[in-house]
Amino acid sequence: MSDSLRRAVQEHLDARSFPAHVAAVSVKYCPAGFPFHPEDDSDWNMVRAMVDDIYPCVDEMLSALQTEAGFSAAVWKRLRQGRKIIFRPAAGSTINTNDRRNAPEHGINLDAGWVFAATVMRWFHDRPRVSYYDMCLGVSLDNTDGIAGEAWVEGDRTDSGDGWGFYYARRYLAEVSDPGLGDDPLRGLRESAAGRYLPPGAVFDRMMVYDLNRRDGDMTRERKLEFPEGRFIAVHKVLLGGDSDDEGDRVLYPGAIPVNLVKLGKADPASLAGSIAHCAGNVGARVTTAHEGDALLARVPGEEKEFMLHLVDAGADGILGLFVTFGRGRSSRGIEQD
């Protein structure tokens, strides 16, 4: 990303009084056309080849962002605290399960798709050497008509084309990843298919999917955040972390490291800044424009500065990586590395 574009994004955030600082890079690439759900092995071989073609671009983008921002040290610090990296396709938006190819009836359609998720997950496994068991996928779904949201996210592995398709991301990662870390990205699929819920802190040997709108009547899965005027919102603890005054709850819900995976039509500064504010302000629950970002920032009062990775497929304008650090008041300039 040119420095002029990065500065323009920063200026748009500053104009919103949004307390964040952005480091950013970009890589040009042409998105490949591919079957959404491969129907046979010949389809699958074609899809895998196309994903392999995209991966070097993702590698170049994230490696450049690592050089620019040095985010891996901050990621590893939080992994050692028990957190997991949560990859958020369509971060801040609700995915319409009736027809994911169309924009949802409400909100913004930012769904970057399973191919982008697979390539980014592969990079974290290949480069910083993060185990798939320290990763999870988090999405917000609308009405799933009685089907477990996690099962829908994995996708129907038939020719019906139902579901989001994370199974194919798992299959791709299982075929291309270095087995040296002793992990298997296919572990966790059975739990998703069965709609079985396991808190992140209770999972050590599988990669889970979480529907951030799902509670199953269990309100212990959510935390309420209070805004200055007294209004509350409820956010899933998978993303937010457990109650700060409940040690057992913090063990089950240690918090997450957000990696947003977003699709935009082009690399427009206003759209990029808007997607950052939108994703930060929507952490499994929609908040008003007046409080964009507060939901994310409110989880760490008096604690270390938080951050998120914001990775964007901007179509013909390439793929962009933004490392966004948060602070109250003036924009934060960096994040601790030790």
Residue 3 has pLDDT above 50, yes or no: yes
- The tens digit of pLDDT for each residue in 143-187 reads 666 778 888 889 855 444 568 889 999 999 999 999 899 999 999
Of 70-74, 179-183, 286-290, the poorest mean pLDDT is in 286-290
| pLDDT at position 56 over 70 | yes
pLDDT classification of 34: cutoffs 50, 70, 90: low
Angle at 275 between CA 242 and CA 241, to 5 degrees: 5
Whether 188 has a pLDDT exceeding 90, the answer reads: yes
Global pTM reads: 0.87
Average pLDDT estimate for 9-34: 78
* 270 SS3 class: helix
- 50, 32 Cβ separation under 8 angstroms: yes
* Residue 31 DSSP label: P
**Best mean pLDDT range from 7-11, 151-155, 184-188, 322-326:** 184-188
Calpha distance 202→210 (Å, rounded): 14
* SS3 at position 262: strand
Q: How far apart, in Å, are the Cα atoms of 57 and each of 151, 245, 267, 308?
A: 30, 43, 16, 21
Which range marks the domain in which residue 58 is found? 3-326
Residue 254's pLDDT band, with cuts at 50, 70 and 90, is very high
CA distances from 114 to 71, 119, 172, 179, 326 (A): 23, 9, 10, 21, 28
Whole-number pLDDT of residue 161: 52
Q: Is residue 336 part of a domain?
A: no
> What is the model's pLDDT at position 129?
97
Residue in this structure with the two tokens 């008003």, named with its chain if needed: 288
Helices (H), the chain: 3-15, 41-69, 71-80, 113-126, 149-154, 166-176, 189-194, 237-240, 247-252, 269-281, 294-297
Q: Say if CB 195 and CB 211 are below 8 A apart.
A: no
Contact 305, 327 (CB under 8 A): yes
The pLDDT tens digits of the residues spanning 104-139 come to 333 345 677 888 999 999 999 999 999 999 999 998
CA 184 to chain centre: 20
Mean pLDDT along residues 287-307:
49
124 lies in some domain: yes
Paired tokens of 23: 């480091």
Number of domains in the chain: 1
Q: Is position 335 within any domain?
A: no
DSSP per position, 51-100: HHHHHHHHHHHHHHHHHHH-HHHHHHHHHHTT-EEEEEETTTSEE-SS-T
Q: In this structure, is residue 263 part of a structural domain?
A: yes
> Is residue 139 classed as helix, strand or coil in its secondary structure?
strand
Q: Is residue 48 situated within a structural domain?
A: yes
Question: What confidence category does residue 335 fall into, taking pLDDT thresholds of 50, 70 and 90?
Answer: very low
* 337 part of a folded domain: no
Q: Is residue 334 part of a domain?
A: no
How many helical (H) and strand (E) elements, i.e. helices and strands, does the chain have? 11, 10
